[in-house]
Amino acid sequence: MAGLMDSVNQRTQLVGQNRLELLLFRLEGPQLYGINVFKVKEVLQCPKLTIMPKSSPVVRGVANIRGGTIPILDLSIATGRAALEDLKTSFVIITEYNTKVQGFLVRSVERIVNMNWEEIHPPPKGTGRDHYLTAVTRLDQQLVEIIDVEKILAEVAPTSEVISAGVIDDQVQSQAVTKHVLIVDDSSVARKQVLRCLQTVGVEVTALNDGREALNYLKKMADEGHNPDKELLMLISDIEMPEMDGYTLTTEIRSDPRMQKLHILLHTSLSGVFNQAMVKKVGADDFLAKFKPDDLAARVVERIRVADGG
């Protein structure tokens, strides 16, 4: 399994190239699933699990790994299927999302593939509202489903969306109503979290699903004679998105003189492997790990005060 993870060390070279590496795995059955290697810390044979009373059925137990206690989530149960059996022959993908480490129990791990985000597409429109997919792609004529991990984590351990007292004051809220923020995220759960946070601040919000859609939106604004960097307070963008990722979106915006001064905050669950050098490489203004409502609200409040010179 160590050989499988060798390419993880090269992952930072993908920044700004609209490329990603997917770790492919299976649950029960032939369906292939994928997870971004950026989120993966380690892959190992399923260790001994200790059952946690009163925990979610999705949590099969906790494991002691590298001196830390990590919850192990059964992705089969999480996506509405039967629990994985024979844990001794199963694998655990150790990941870091939103500054938290957890393991995902899977039947088998296949390999790592290098792909272009343009080959990753939103789920088919007929999938319905209750699906657990954030994107799909094809590999060797086989459909690969990319699971919306943020939705699963939000259901297993909901994150508070309450903004603490004092983060927003009356003056800021009175100024906020004239401000417009563009948000971009392919996860429906993450999009709603950000939307509710910004609505509490009081700004107008436009929410889009991926980087390509956001770039087209901004170009249409500019083509119609509008000035995106003056009419929008800021862009809050996820990094991992089908069609076009947040790095490439930022690069495209910075290369267009009609919008290159737009304030860009990259808001992502890539907390464990992200660093400020990557932010500078693509020209983003700021980076924030998901999902901390106080921190996100504070960033928007700061932008409002700067915009109004206060």
Pick from 87, 5, 3: nearest CA to 38:
5
Walking along the chain (310 residues) 10 residues at a time, the average pLDDT comes out as 46 63 93 90 94 90 92 94 92 88 95 91 73 89 91 86 90 94 92 94 96 97 96 95 91 96 89 60 88 94 88
List every span in the chain annotated with CATH 3.40.50.2300.
168-307
Structure tokens at 3: 């050989």
Are 278 and 11 in contact by the 8 Å Cβ rule? The answer is no
List every span in the chain annotated with CATH 2.40.50.180.
15-154
Structure tokens at 128: 């319905």
What distance, in Å, lies between the first and last C-alpha atoms of the chain?
A: 55
Domain made up of 15-154: CATH architecture: Beta Barrel (2.40)
In this prediction, residue 8 carries a pLDDT of 40
Q: Where are the beta strands (DSSP E) in the chain?
A: 19-26, 32-36, 40-45, 59-65, 68-74, 91-97, 100-106, 108-116, 133-139, 142-147, 180-184, 204-208, 234-237, 264-268, 286-289
In this prediction, residue 282 carries a pLDDT of 85
User: Three-class SS of residue 112?
Assistant: strand
For the chain, where are the alpha helices, taking DSSP H only? 75-78, 149-156, 170-176, 188-201, 211-223, 228-231, 246-254, 276-282, 293-307
Distance CA 295, CA 172 (A): 15
Are 153 and 59 in contact by the 8 Å Cβ rule? The answer is no
Checking DSSP bridges between strand 234-237 and strand 264-268, what pairing results, if any?
Answer: parallel
DSSP label of 16: T
Query: Which strand ranges, in their side-by-side order, compose the sheet holding 91-97?
Result: 40-45, 91-97, 100-106, 68-74, 59-65
CATH for 168-307, options being 3.40.50.1970, 1.10.486.10, 3.40.640.10, 3.40.50.2300:
3.40.50.2300
